[in-house]
Each structure stands twice: as structure tokens, then as C-alpha cells.
Structure 1
Amino acid sequence: MKTEDIEQRIRAGLPGCQVTVTGDGSHFEVTVVGEEFADLPSVKRQQRVYATVNDLITSGALHALTIKAYTPAEWATASKLRISS
């Protein structure tokens, strides 16, 4: 599984979101930023992202996925915290 394949699937399922995928072929980390996540708890955000790749997970093509989902405002804050760390 390639990061580009996962990124395309998530972008198609969550249009308008900014998607970044990193990983080593079996374990991946996804960061998704979009207004779609406003007013949603983190579990619901993750469920929306998982829904875009669920068939890959059930088939075993995608083994492990860590999801970080933010609104644009949350991402701006999280990015600043990372830079200053």
C-alpha cells in the first residue's frame, strides 16, 4: 500500500479536506484538516476518515492507521505548538 493511494481515497471521500499521509507500507499516519470536522467529537471525526478506507482495512491491504483530524482553526493552533516545541 502506498501513501498516495490512501491519500487519494481520503480526498475522494472527504472533498475539500487537506490530507497528509505518511507511513512505511503497513503502518500509516493520516492528518486530515477540514471544516467538515467542526462540532464533531474526535471519535466521529475518525469514523468519517475510516469510512473512506474501510474496505482496505477489512481486506487486510491496510494494516494500521493513526488518524489526526482537525478543523482549520485547530490545525493552525496545533501547527504553532509543533513549531515551538
Structure 2
Amino acid sequence: MAIFAQQLEDLLRESFPNAQIAVEGSDGRHMSAMVVDESFRGLNRVQQQRAVYAALKGKMDGPDGELHALALTTKAPD
């Protein structure tokens, strides 16, 4: 089962309601996302990305996950 860009954005928006979020990808298995959120301030890149993966609620878990690959950019606002 594939996941669409809007579905991915909706999942991220649940955890990061005030974030700037951009999701790209059309094959449903390989996507990229940029998440810019104030909650990332003071966190290192690994901590930021872990927060995003947690927001995905298992959509990338295991070989049968709905999303196979996610190129992820995270940061706090400038």
C-alpha cells in the first residue's frame, strides 16, 4: 500500500501544526519532506529527524511499511 504526499503532510501536520512543511514525491514509496518548526530549536539533526519519524506513526516500519524512503530536511526557523 502506498502513501500519498498529502497523507504524509497530514501526518506531519498532526505533530507539527505550526510548521512549514513541504512534501514531494509521486510514486507513493519514495518521498522527500522539509519540516521547519520551532520545536526543533536546540535539537541536533538526529533528534529533529527522530521527532519526524515518530510523527509518521509506523508508516516506515519494516519492509512492508507504506513508505520505503524519505529524504528528510529538518530545521528550526531562521
TM-score class normalised by the smaller sequence: 0.7 to 0.9
Corresponding pairs, count: 73
User: Relative contact order (alpha carbons < 8 A, sep ≥ 6): 1 or 2 greater?
Assistant: 2
Q: Measure the CA separation in 2 of the matches of 1:38 and 1:29.
A: 21
Where structure 1 has 5 or more consecutive residues not aligned to the other structure, the ranges are: 74-85
Deviation, structure 1 residue 54: 3.8
Percent identity, aligned pairs only, is 33
Which residue number in structure 1 is paired with residue 24 of structure 2?
22
**What TM-score comes out, normalization by structure 1 length?**
0.80
Deviation, structure 1 residue 7: 0.1
Deviation, structure 1 residue 56: 0.9
Residue of structure 2 aligned with 1:10, choices 5, 9, 12:
12
Residue of structure 1 aligned with 2:55, choices 43, 52, 55:
52
Q: Measure the CA separation in 2 of the matches of 1:31 and 1:9.
A: 13
Task: Pick the structure with more helix per residue.
Answer: 1
Task: Please state whether the residue corresponding to 1:57 is helix, strand or coil.
Answer: coil
Where structure 2 has 5 or more consecutive residues not aligned to the other structure, the ranges are: none
Deviates more, 1:39-48 or 1:62-71: 62-71
Query: Pairwise CA RMSD of aligned residues?
Result: 1.1
Deviation, structure 1 residue 55: 1.2
Larger radius of gyration: 1
Which residue number in structure 2 is paired with residue 72 of structure 1?
77
Q: Measure the CA separation in 2 of the matches of 1:66 and 1:45.
A: 13
Residue of structure 2 aligned with 1:40, choices 37, 40, 43:
43
Deviates more, 1:42-51 or 1:21-30: 21-30
